[in-house]
């Protein structure tokens, strides 16, 4: 399905961050964000470096053209700085299912409210505007930090896909699959909203 009306570029605005549609010229800003922590050296997740960012963006746009993805940059509202990226991906419009993935943030924004607010913005759009029945999250078995972060969102583990894909270094990835379904959304939303409340 080309140019699917189910997924269209959109800006999602929160208190701390805004998710803006990925643009072709965002490459240098993404590399600058990834340089905080040299995230391209992480072996279990793909983060672009200067020599791979063009292909990274081209793939995102190719998937958007097929109606399977919608990519965003994560912009810190206070500084207007791009601090990471995320996207809807592996979308199945006919089944009203999609995944949130390709998510990473500059190291100084990890384990902050940034991820919580990004997920609240994306999940609200998926369930309340796209009428999704399920949103998946997938991560490498060895990426324990990501697995813990996904569980904290309120997602439930569906299972592990053994030898799911071969990595660039020749190793095989076991993929852990989590999901949130539409009937769980209101409870998950309440939990995320509570996490974002100012503490006195």
On average, the pLDDT of the chain sits at 93
Return the CATH architecture of domain 12-195. Answer: 3-Layer(aba) Sandwich (3.40)
Largest Cα separation within the chain, whole Å, is 50
Quote the CA–CA distance of 102 and 63 in Å, as a whole number: 13
The predicted model scores a pTM of: 0.92
Tallying the residues shown for the chain, one arrives at: 200
Which pLDDT tens digit goes with each residue over 11-69?
Answer: 999 999 999 999 999 999 999 999 987 788 776 678 889 999 999 999 999 999 999 99
Q: Which residues, listed in sequence order, are joined to residue 18 by a DSSP beta bridge? A: 13, 75
**Domain segments of the chain: what residues?**
12-195
DSSP-derived secondary structure letter, 197: S
**Which residue reads 């990925």 in tokens?**
22
pLDDT(72) > 90: yes
Question: What does the CA dihedral 109, 110, 116, 120 come to, rounded to 10 degrees?
Answer: 70
8-state DSSP, 68: S
Within 13 Å and on the Cβ side, how many CA atoms surround 67? 11
* pLDDT confidence of residue 200: 65
Please say whether the beta carbons of 107 and 116 come within 8 A.
no
To the nearest whole percent, how much of the chain has pLDDT over 90? Answer: 81
Could you identify the residue written with the tokens 């949103």? 135
Alpha-carbon span 56 to 60, nearest angstrom: 6
- Buried b / exposed e across 60-81, counting CB within 10 Å, b at 16+? beebbeebbbbbbbbbbeeeee
Contact indicator for 173, 166 with CB cutoff of 8 Å: yes
Tokens at 134, concatenated: 């399920």
């Amino acid at each position: 399905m080309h140019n699917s009306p189910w997924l269209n570029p959109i800006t999602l605005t929160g208190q701390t961050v805004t998710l803006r549609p990925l643009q072709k010229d965002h490459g240098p800003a993404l590399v600058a964000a990834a340089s905080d922590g040299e995230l391209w050296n992480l072996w279990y997740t793909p983060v672009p470096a200067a020599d791979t960012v063009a292909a990274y963006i081209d793939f995102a746009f190719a998937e958007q053209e097929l109606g399977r993805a919608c990519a965003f940059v994560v912009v810190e509202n206070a500084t207007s700085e791009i601090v990471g990226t995320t996207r809807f991906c592996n979308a199945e419009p006919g089944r009203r299912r999609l995944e949130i993935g390709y998510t990473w943030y500059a190291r100084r924004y990890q384990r902050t409210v940034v991820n919580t607010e990004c997920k609240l913005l994306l999940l609200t759009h998926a369930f309340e505007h796209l009428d999704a029945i399920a949103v998946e999250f997938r991560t490498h078995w060895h990426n324990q930090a990501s697995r813990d972060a996904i569980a904290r969102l309120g997602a439930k583990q569906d299972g592990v896909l053994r030898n799911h894909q071969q990595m660039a270094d020749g190793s095989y990835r076991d993929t852990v699959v989590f999901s949130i379904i539409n009937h769980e959304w209101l409870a998950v939303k309440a939990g995320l909203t509570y996490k974002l409340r100012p503490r006195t």
